[in-house]
Amino acid sequence: MSEGTHRRLTSPRLVVASHNKGKIAEIRFLVAPCGIETVSAGDLGLPEPEETETTFAGNARLKAHAAAKASGLPALSDDSGLAVAALGGDPGIYSARWAGPDKDFARAMRNIEEKLQALGATTPAARRAKFVCALCLAWPDGHDEVFVGEVHGELVWPPRGAAGFGYDPMFLPDGHSRTFGEMTAEEKHGLGPDGGLSHRARAFLMFSDACLKG
């Protein structure tokens, strides 16, 4: 489509193209005020496609199109991760894989910390990182819309807080004194007149403005 024009989502039902319970919960939290019924790919028994792309947007597209084609419904996917500057952007699109098949993010966070310590990255300036989220809304006819949000901050050690999921307990967003792991869902996403705080909320606001508002 031409720049500045977007397809509106008119279906009252939407597939959340994910098997990640944390992501599904956050997307449902964000979508709930819009009055859209959501069902997850896992609920529908859809297989998880192999993430073979090299960017967040590419993997988000892959997952959304797979779910839309299999379900016959519009599908919203999320591909997101943590990019650490001192590690050359790692773990990046491999953020979930760093946690292993058992999704042990405590181990993944220790792995990042060990790599930072090996580099002597002990000051806040040396521990810069960002969370990136690409949301893709795909229709069964093959059309899609992609939105990318980022939030910048630094990594703390030891991790703080048991809220959120993934790398949240070690990520301290700029301008805040608490990690994502110490924030409620409302605080983490920060939806309000000034926009969103989390990477997912920022991508969602772009999606909402483009595809949900008349």
By annotation, the residues acting in catalysis are: 79
Closest of 8, 25, 13, 10 to residue 198, by C-alpha:
25
> Is the Cβ–Cβ distance between 116 and 84 less than 8 Å?
yes
At residue 168's C-alpha, the angle toward residues 90 and 182, to 5°, is 155
Quote the crossing angle between the two packed helices 199-211 and 21-31, to the nearest 10°: 40
